[in-house]
């Protein structure tokens, strides 16, 4: 019987403060119309000073643990996908483990920018399938507002803050694709295009975290192509058509990229979880935030098939096929 990783619970945390497009009109030379037409974003949450990536990760983790009915002693691993850690080191994962009194299993961060959650999910799934962990807390948490240049209208209208979490548990599956669990993960990077989306600095160069610099139009073209490629590969690998997918849970960067992937899959938009209008682009947090919203409002039900996909800086991209 094959070992698989089941999503036992989901959780999330959003900062209280909402920044609308009207607020941004007062800060940079932009309009609500431009932002909505080009990205689909209407508002986003921006963290206060005390709402650090670690704090938001901890809150998301607590709500996932409540949903799964697990206490800290049940968990033996913590993986946090983030680009905006509280400190260069130790990891946000170590902070989550320490603050929640989770036992001394593995704890580390993964940095794959907007694809971070898919990378973290795949990594946790592999640890579980190798028998090296039984229950892993997988978190995507970001305070993107801390690395945004608030004078750059091409990026400051897009990025935002938040955290989402899932708990994976090892289980046996003898039903193939009909069984619950992570059926496949697909990860990629094209480092030769890393300059299209980067920060202006870092610890070993400028000595600070830097701010986001993005060639939006070029990233957009790569996103559309890579998303189409990776979802097609995921279906082919599992020998299914898009009819088998109940929900597309995409990274929330731009509604036009999401619509293009849905069209490629021939999926109606009512089978796509969309939060970009209210959350903006929360990088590694966007997928677990979207997943948790759709689980809690009853759209995503147990036993349904999810296709998860993301693309971001690196360039990185990836997908996962999961029966919830
Ligand atoms: O999550 C990680 C991956 N990231 C992404 O997937 C983001 C991918 N890129 C995008 O989503 C889109 O490229 C953007 C939303 C960033 C931009 O949309 P676009 O349709 O590609 O616009 P553009 O960059 O081609 O800019 C069009 C015009 C430019 O003016 P000119 O050169 O045509 O005169 C920009 O200067 O819009 C101007 N512009 C703005 N105008 C008003 C750029 N930002 C703004 C703004 N408000 N905030």
| Ligand 1 in reach of 126 Cβ (< 6 A) | no
What spacing in Å lies between the alpha carbon of 96 and ligand 1's midpoint? 36
Hey, which of 154, 160, 193, 313 would you mutate to test ligand 1's pocket, going by the most ligand atoms within 8 Å of its Cβ?
Answer: 154
| Cα–Cα distance, 280 to 148 (Å, whole number) | 13
The residue from 21, 173, 254, 281 that is catalytic is: 281
| Ligand 1 in reach of 114 Cβ (< 6 A) | yes
- Which residue, judged by its Cα, is nearest atom 25 of ligand 1? 217
**Angle, alpha carbons 196-202-203 (nearest 5°):** 160
> How does residue 42 score in pLDDT terms, banded at 50, 70 and 90?
very high
- Domains of the chain: residue spans and CATH: 2-176 (3.40.47.10), 179-323 (3.40.47.10)
| Ligand 1 in reach of 30 Cβ (< 6 A) | yes
Of 126, 150, 151, 148, nearest in space to 138 by CA:
126
Question: What are the tens digits of pLDDT across the range 75-109?
Answer: 999 999 999 999 999 999 999 999 999 999 999 99
Of 119, 117, 122, nearest in space to 142 by CA:
117
What spacing in Å lies between the alpha carbon of 43 and ligand 1's midpoint? 17
pLDDT score, position 25? 98
The answer, yes or no, to whether residue 128 has pLDDT greater than 90, is yes
Of 315, 12, 282, nearest in space to 138 by CA:
12
pLDDT score, position 1? 78
pLDDT score, position 169? 98
pLDDT score, position 15? 98
Provide the total of helices (H) and of strands (E) in the chain, helices listed first: 10, 13
pLDDT score, position 318? 98
pLDDT score, position 120? 99
Of 132, 114, 291, 99, nearest in space to 123 by CA:
132
pLDDT score, position 306? 98
| Ligand 1 in reach of 276 Cβ (< 6 A) | no
- φ, ψ for residue 89, nearest 5 deg: -150, 160
pLDDT score, position 238? 98
| Cα–Cα distance, 22 to 31 (Å, whole number) | 7
156 is catalytic: no
The answer, yes or no, to whether residue 264 has pLDDT greater than 90, is yes
| Cα–Cα distance, 179 to 171 (Å, whole number) | 10
| Ligand 1 in reach of 238 Cβ (< 6 A) | no
Sheet strand arrangement including 316-323:
181-189, 316-323, 305-312, 247-250
On average, the pLDDT of the chain sits at: 98
Is residue 270 within 8 Å of 242, Cβ to Cβ? no
Q: What percent of the chain has pLDDT over 90?
A: 100
What spacing in Å lies between the alpha carbon of 307 and ligand 1's midpoint? 27
114 is catalytic: yes
Strands 181-189 and 43-45: unpaired
User: Which residues are CB-neighbours of 135 under 8 A, at least 6 positions away?
Assistant: 8, 70, 74, 75, 76, 77, 167, 168, 169, 170
Residue whose pair of structure tokens reads 């497009």 in the numeric block: 21
> Per the structure block, which two tokens stand in for 237?
């690998």
Of 113, 65, 146, 128, nearest in space to 286 by CA:
113
- Enclosing H/E stretch for 11: strand 2-13
Is residue 91 within 8 Å of 290, Cβ to Cβ? no
The answer, yes or no, to whether residue 316 has pLDDT greater than 90, is yes
Q: What percent of the chain has pLDDT over 70?
A: 100
| 154 CA closest ligand 1 atom index | 44
| Cα–Cα distance, 114 to 285 (Å, whole number) | 8
What spacing in Å lies between the alpha carbon of 156 and ligand 1's midpoint? 11
| Cα–Cα distance, 33 to 21 (Å, whole number) | 9
126 is catalytic: no
What spacing in Å lies between the alpha carbon of 154 and ligand 1's midpoint? 6
**What is the rounded average pLDDT of the residues 277-292?**
98
| Ligand 1 in reach of 157 Cβ (< 6 A) | yes
SS3 for 287-304 is HHHHHHHHHHCCCCCCCC
Question: What are the tens digits of pLDDT across the range 234-250?
Answer: 999 999 999 999 999 99
Of 312, 309, 257, 306, nearest in space to 282 by CA:
312
Question: What are the tens digits of pLDDT across the range 13-40?
Answer: 999 999 999 999 999 999 999 999 999 9
The answer, yes or no, to whether residue 202 has pLDDT greater than 90, is yes
pLDDT score, position 323? 98
| Ligand 1 in reach of 256 Cβ (< 6 A) | no
Is residue 250 within 8 Å of 272, Cβ to Cβ? yes
> How does residue 3 score in pLDDT terms, banded at 50, 70 and 90?
very high
| Cα–Cα distance, 231 to 139 (Å, whole number) | 22
What is the DSSP code (8-state) at residue 206? Answer: T
What is the DSSP code (8-state) at residue 180? Answer: S
Q: Report residue 15 CA to chain centroid gap.
A: 16
| Ligand 1 in reach of 249 Cβ (< 6 A) | no
| Ligand 1 in reach of 134 Cβ (< 6 A) | no
- φ, ψ for residue 136, nearest 5 deg: -115, 130
The answer to pTM > 0.85 is yes
**What is the rounded average pLDDT of the residues 256-269?**
97
């Amino acid at each position: 019987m094959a070992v698989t990783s089941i999503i036992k619970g989901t959780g999330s945390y959003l900062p209280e403060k909402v920044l609308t497009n009207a607020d941004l009109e007062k800060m940079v030379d932009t309009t609500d119309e431009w932002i909505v037409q080009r990205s689909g974003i209407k508002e986003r949450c921006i963290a206060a000073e005390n709402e650090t990536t670690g704090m938001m990760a901890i809150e998301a983790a607590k709500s996932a643990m409540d949903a799964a009915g697990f206490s800290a002693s049940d968990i033996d691993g913590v993986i946090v996908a983030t680009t905006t850690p509280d400190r260069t080191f130790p990891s946000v994962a170590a902070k989550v483990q320490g603050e929640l009194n989770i036992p001394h299993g593995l704890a580390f961060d993964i940095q794959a920018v907007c694809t971070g959650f898919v990378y973290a999910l795949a990594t946790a799934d592999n640890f579980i399938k190798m028998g090296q962990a039984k229950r892993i807390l997988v978190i995507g948490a970001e305070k993107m507002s801390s690395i945004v240049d608030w004078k750059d209208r091409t990026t400051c209208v897009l990025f935002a803050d938040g955290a989402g979490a899932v708990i994976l548990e090892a289980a046996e599956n003898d039903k193939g694709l009909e069984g619950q669990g992570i059926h496949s993960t697909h990860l990629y990077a094209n480092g030769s295009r890393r300059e299209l989306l980067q920060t202006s600095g870092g610890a070993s160069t400028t000595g600070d975290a830097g701010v986001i610099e993005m060639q939006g139009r070029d990233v957009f073209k790569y996103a559309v192509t890579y998303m189409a490629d990776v979802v097609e590969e995921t279906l082919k690998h599992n020998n299914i058509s898009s009819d088998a997918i109940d929900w597309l849970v995409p990274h929330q960067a731009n509604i036009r990229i999401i619509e293009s992937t849905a069209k490629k899959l021939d999926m109606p938009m009512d089978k796509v979880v969309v939060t970009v209008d209210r959350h903006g682009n929360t990088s590694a947090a966007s997928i677990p935030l979207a997943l948790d919203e759709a689980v809690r409002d009853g759209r995503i039900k147990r036993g349904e098939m999810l296709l998860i996909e993301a693309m971001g800086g690196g360039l990185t991209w990836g997908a996962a096929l999961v029966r919830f």
